[in-house]
Amino acid sequence: MSELPTLAVVGATGAVGTVMCELLSSRKNVWGEIRLIASARSAGKTIVVRGDELTVQPLAPEAFDGVDVAMFDVPDEISATWAPIAADRGAVAVDNSGAFRMDPDVPLVVPEINPEQVGNRPKGIIANANCTTLAMIVAVAPLHREYGLRELVVASYQAVSGAGKVGIDTLLDQMSKVAGDRVLGSRSGNVRLAVGDELGPFPAPLALNVVPWAGSLKAGGWSSEEVKIRNESRKILGLPDLKVSATCVRVPVVTGHSVAIHAVFGSEVDADGAREVLRHAPGVILVDDPATGEFPMPIDAVGTDPSWVGRIRRSLDDPRALDLFVTGDNLRKGAALNTAQIAELLAAEFTR
312 vs 350: CA distance, rounded Å: 41
Would you tell me how many other CB atoms lie within 10 Å of the CB of residue 37?
27
Quote helix, strand, coil % in the chain, to nearest 5. Answer: 35, 25, 40
Name the maximum alpha-carbon separation found in the chain.
68
334 vs 158: CA distance, rounded Å: 11
250 vs 212: CA distance, rounded Å: 6
38 vs 9: CA distance, rounded Å: 8
DSSP 253: -
> Which residue type, as a one-letter code, is found at position 319?
P
130 vs 227: CA distance, rounded Å: 11
DSSP 298: H
Partnered with residue 94 across adjacent β-strands are 71, 126
312 vs 286: CA distance, rounded Å: 10
Please list the active-site residues.
Answer: 131, 257
3-state secondary structure of 94: strand
Pairing of strands 34-38, 46-49: unpaired
Q: Phi/psi zone of residue 297: left (φ > 0), alpha (ψ -120 to 50 degrees), beta? A: beta
Measured at the CA of 315, the angle between CA 229 and CA 251, to 5 degrees, comes to 40
